[in-house]
Amino acid sequence: MPTWTALTTLLGKSKADALGEAMETLIPEPTGIGVFEMEDDSGLWEVGGYFTEEPDHAGLALLSAMHGAKDFAVSELPEVDWVAHVRRELQPVEAGRFFVYGAHDAERLPQGRVGLRIEASMAFGTGHHGTTLGCLEALDIIADKGIVARNVADIGCGTAVLAMAAAKIWPNPVIASDIDAVAVEVAQANVRANGVEDRVHVVEAAGFDHPDLKAAQPFDLVFANILKGPLIGLAPDMGVAVAPEGRAILSGILNPQADEVIAAYQKAGFTLDRRAEHGDWTTLTLLRKPA
């Protein structure tokens, strides 16, 4: 069955939200609408709709004019079996001792490597993105130093690949959280598939706002692979949640944004331990100052 997308951009969250809401009045109506801030510091927001019938071009033009947006770019999408496509295109990823793979590549797990199985249909967080790869490499470097984190949290866990990585190298509890209920279900499924359900506990939460996360503090290590804005907003809470001399591994940071994130965490009591780039993305390892 053919499908279509209609995408535009405009300045300001409130205008973008209003346009997204107005798109619900279109006939045929979109089956899904998304409003997202662009990650390039331009101040632009992207508004998009997904359609199972060809959208009303005149109606889209009228909405874009009324809301001060650029003309909608309408595209018909080819019919693709995305799971099969991902299975063909996504090869296993190696990051230090870690080997991230889908079930279709289970036989390729090298002996002596720490395997992290992520289903191909759950592609975000498979390790192919520079942010996840950077976090896994940062964890590998910490472990190479002989450090054993006794208490670990993975904030904004997605597939829970980072939480599972920690659980597979250290015999201690890990708590993973995500603000999205679907992501929590995905994480729980991956935790079971990797046999670490006895050590990885997944909760739905924004930041550290969950009784289980509060009860488990302070943490020796916290992952937060999210985006610059939420990371900066999380800095004060991170300064409380991470134990003195504990570490935070942060990513989801575009390279030009890294200095701003570092400055926010320095104010929260951290020093920079390591900074690494993978493509457009930076991963930071931060050390909490001694008490």
Q: Give the 3-state secondary structure of 206-221.
A: CCCCCHHHHHHCCEEE
For residues 38 and 260, what is the distance between their CA atoms, to the nearest angstrom? Answer: 17
The per-residue pLDDT for 126 is 46
Q: Environment class of residue 16 by beta-carbon count within 10 Å: exposed (0-12), middle (13-18) or buried (19+)?
A: buried
The per-residue pLDDT for 123 is 37
Please give the sequence-ordered ranges of beta strands (E in DSSP) within 31-106, or none if there are none: 32-37, 44-51, 73-77, 93-95, 98-101
Beta bridge partners of 110: none
For residues 119 and 111, what is the distance between their CA atoms, to the nearest angstrom? Answer: 20
The per-residue pLDDT for 129 is 63
For residues 63 and 68, what is the distance between their CA atoms, to the nearest angstrom? Answer: 8
Kindly report the pTM of this predicted structure. Answer: 0.70
For residues 69 and 67, what is the distance between their CA atoms, to the nearest angstrom? Answer: 6
Q: What architecture (CATH level 2) is domain 3-77?
A: 2-Layer Sandwich (3.30)
- The CATH class for the domain spanning 125-288 reads alpha beta
Domain residue extents for the chain: 3-77, 125-288
The per-residue pLDDT for 106 is 65
For residues 73 and 61, what is the distance between their CA atoms, to the nearest angstrom? Answer: 10
Q: How far is CA 66 from the centre of its chain?
A: 34
Q: What is the pLDDT of residues 180-224, one digit of tens each?
A: 888 888 899 899 999 999 999 999 998 999 999 999 999 999 999
pLDDT below 50 — which residues of the chain? 82, 85-86, 89, 120-128
Query: For all residues of the chain together, what is the average pLDDT?
Result: 88
